[in-house]
Structure 1
C-alpha cells in the first residue's frame, strides 16, 4: 500500500457511472476520490485546484472531450497521470488517447479489482492496458505499417493515406468527410485518386490490398 492514498478525480458524463465509480473507489483504503466531473473542462479546473495523482478519464464527453482534456492535463506542472476508462476500444480512440498522453486504457467491462489495480499501477508510473486494448494496439500497429508501405510504394498523399485507412474501416464518404473536416466532394476526389494510384476498382479491393500487405509484413 502507498504511503498515502492515491488522489483520484473521476470523469464521466453519465451520472450513474460517475457516481458508481466514486462509491466503489471510496471503499478502497488506498484511494481518495478528491473530485468528480461530467466534462473535460471541469476536469481541468479540478486538476489545477486539487492536484490529483490520477484522473480516471472517460473519452466521449460533451464540450471538452476526454482526449482534449488528457492533452491539456499532460501540459500541467505537475501533470496527473491519466487512466482512460471508456466503452470504446477502436483503434482511433486508443491511438488518440495514447498520443494525447494517457498512461493506461481500460474498457468499462473492467471489474472493481482491475480498476483499482490499474489506478495503483498508474500512480506508480506504470502503463496498464486491458487485454482487448493491447490486442487492438498490436493490430493497429501492423495495420498502420501496411498503410505506410502502400503510401510509400504508390506515392499516396497524407490525406489519401488517411482516406484509405477509413475505407478499411468501412466508413461512408460522409463519415470520412466529417473526420477530415472536408466536403464529401473532396473525399470523392481523394477516393478516385486513391483507386487510380493503387490500381483497384472499389473499396473492397482497396481493403483487400491493405490486408494482403499487412499479412506479408507479419
Structure 2
C-alpha cells in the first residue's frame, strides 16, 4: 500500500523535528521533506510531490495562508492542513477561503494529528460544520459592522503599518518608525495581507493608495 507523502512546513526547526518524530513509526506515512516558510514549500513541491502539507499559519517570508492559497491554485491535488499555536477566528476564516482542508492547534495529541493527516489524504475535510459556521459568522460580522468600508477589518496598528507600506517602507524602517521589533513589523504586514486577501506588499500599497489609507488616521 502506497505511503502518504507528507511535507512539514514550519519556521521553527525544533517544531519540525517534533512533528517528524510523530510520524516516524507510522507504516503508512512518509515525511518526504520539510520547508521553513511558504515560499520554500512552493519551490519544493514539484520535486517532492507531497500529497499532504502540514503548514504553520504564521511564518516569515511567506505565511501559511498565503502559501496555501498559492498551492491550492497551482497544485489543487495537494491537501493543506493548517496548524497554529493558538485559535484565531480570522486565521480560520482566511484558511477556509485559501482552500485548506483542515485547521489544528499545535497542542493537538499525536493520535489526533495522525488521524487528521490520514483524513485529509483520503480527500476528507477536517473543517467541522461548527468551525465553518463560526467562520461564516465572523465574515458576516465584519460585513455588518462596517466591514464594507476598506480597511475597517484592520486594527489601528495595522493601519499605521499599511500606511508605511504604501510609502515604500521596508520592515526594518517600519519597525524603527513605530518602535517595534523587525519581526513584529513583519508579522503585522503578514496579517494585513491575510485580512485583505492579498499576496504581495505591492498589492497592499496599491490598495492603500486606492482606498486613501495612506494616512493611518484617515
Relative to the length of structure 1, the TM-score reads 0.69
Residue 141 in structure 1 maps to residue 124 in structure 2: no
Question: Which one has a larger percent helix, Structure 1 or Structure 2?
Answer: 1
Q: What is the CA distance between 1:77 and its match in structure 2? A: 4.2
CA distance in 1, matches of 2:61, 2:142: 32
Question: Aligned ranges for residues 117-128 of structure 1 at < 5 Å?
Answer: 117-128=115-126
Residue 10 in structure 1 maps to residue 5 in structure 2: no
Q: Give the count of matched residue pairs.
A: 172
Relative to the length of structure 2, the TM-score reads 0.69
CA distance in 1, matches of 2:11, 2:215: 34
Specify every segment of 5 or more residues in structure 1 that has no aligned partner in the other structure, as ranges: 190-218
Larger radius of gyration: 1
CA distance in 1, matches of 2:130, 2:87: 10
Residue 62 in structure 1 maps to residue 45 in structure 2: no
Q: What is the CA distance between 1:65 and its match in structure 2? A: 1.4
Question: Aligned ranges for residues 93-112 of structure 1 at < 5 Å?
Answer: 93-112=91-110
CA distance in 1, matches of 2:69, 2:134: 24
In structure 2, what is the equivalent of residue 158 of structure 1? Answer: 149
Specify every segment of 5 or more residues in structure 2 that has no aligned partner in the other structure, as ranges: 162-191, 197-203
Question: Aligned ranges for residues 159-178 of structure 1 at < 5 Å?
Answer: 159=150, 163=152, 165-166=153-154, 171=155, 173-178=156-161
Q: What is the CA distance between 1:85 and its match in structure 2? A: 1.2
Q: What is the CA distance between 1:90 and its match in structure 2? A: 1.0
Q: What is the CA distance between 1:55 and its match in structure 2? A: 0.4
Question: Aligned ranges for residues 80-99 of structure 1 at < 5 Å?
Answer: 80-99=78-97
